[in-house]
Chain A
């Protein structure tokens, strides 16, 4: 057999044996005055996840310093951010774009296992 053909065949077989790389898990978080849905999101340490952020009313924010999240959530615009938690724990995220009377209590929790 042609050596080149052998090499190509071997490479193809090797690729076939490799597990297909899965796209990051996608989690949608919806903001509305003065809450997030869901209120709690569970993540795994070291696992990359895409967060899709939407607003149902006014501009909100999502701030969680331990997860390096700081995003505006503008109505009509879908914000996509990726997060790869470096450490396990429970982390509170807050709305950091003033949205009205209940703004100060608008928060959610990320639980990293």
Chain B
């Protein structure tokens, strides 16, 4: 089955990572219904409409000039998701939940603080992968003791989700053991199964000299290459990015702590300076909806910026809709 035959990704902004909606359109004609049934057989479960949100790079514990407000954007994002009239089924966190600390007990305290804020979400189905700031210094030992396994997979309403850890070995790699696990995990799926991979670092060479890559990312993507419907969600780069490789679309969500400047515009990796007139500038979300629309899939992407004007006397979230792409 052609991937274009069943996927629609669209969305609206809400200012918190990214919202994804997976769905089969209401009132489906028999042909579309047949496709959904087929996917259901391949996945062991029918694809039924749902949405999910991606948060990334909350860096709880970070204090510094690019963001003197600490967790305020994270908290605002939680409030924004909670205010959605239809709650998402899942929230995926793509790493750097906390900022690293070498003080004894402090890293654990930051993880607990992260859990406290994330626990404020009305959605209780939360999924995590680590970033290097969570797991790079101790091989992920503390992270796993708090959050559980750093790589795993699960199915949700007909979509297969795969959490990959490309940080715990210190270097940007997944490693042979996880590759073997992924190969075995994918073996039960047909080529048209919808697969969402979520991880921290990009699985392609986005900017190796800024450490925006995964050394064995090609091997991960080779394992995913036979699958026609793959979306890779990641963070790490603290800015939105959209890249297509083969059948796979790679999407980076904005950070909720500070944004890095465009690598095409600057040689040095550096954050945008804090702007107290727009303290959440460049922070926010990416939202996508997956659904069936006629015989063609539509992939719509909304880039959304979280905006707070508290320094100007008003507090609020402005949703900036930057466009919808149709495949």
Please give the residue numbers on chain A whose beta carbons come within 8 Å of chain B beta carbons, in ascending order.
59, 61, 63, 65, 70, 72, 92, 94, 96-101, 103-104
Contacts and interface: CB of A to CB of B under 8 A. Distances in A.
Interface of B: 100, 102, 132-133, 136-137, 167, 170-172, 208-211, 215, 269
Contacts of B170: 59, 61, 97-99
A39 to B, nearest CB: 15
Contacts of B208: 63, 65
Contacts of A63: 208-209, 211
Contact of B209 (A61, A70, A94, A97): A94
Contacts, number: 37
A29 B170 CA distance: 20
Contacts of B167: 98
B100 A100 contact: yes
B171 A96 contact: yes
A98 B137 contact: yes
Contacts of A70: 215
Nearest to B136: A98
Interface of B is mostly: loop
B220 to A, nearest CB: 17
Contacts of B171: 61, 72, 96-98
B211 A96 contact: yes
A101 B99 CA distance: 8
Given A59-B170, A94-B209, A99-B137, 6 more contacts: A61-B170, A65-B208, A97-B171, A98-B132, A100-B102, A101-B100
A75 to B, nearest CB: 13
Contacts of A98: 132-133, 136-137, 167, 170-171
Contacts of A72: 171
A99 B116 CA distance: 27
A58 to B, nearest CB: 8
A99 B102 CA distance: 11
B137 A100 contact: yes
Nearest 5 A/B pairs, CB to CB: A98-B136, A98-B132, A97-B170, A97-B171, A98-B170
A45 B136 CA distance: 36
Nearest to A91: B209
Contacts of B269: 104
A59 B171 CA distance: 10
B257 to A, nearest CB: 13
Nearest to A72: B171
A71 B179 CA distance: 21
A79 to B, nearest CB: 14
A98 B269 CA distance: 16
A97 B169 CA distance: 8
Among A61, A70, A96, which residue has the most Cβ atoms of chain B within 10 A?
A96
Nearest to A59: B170
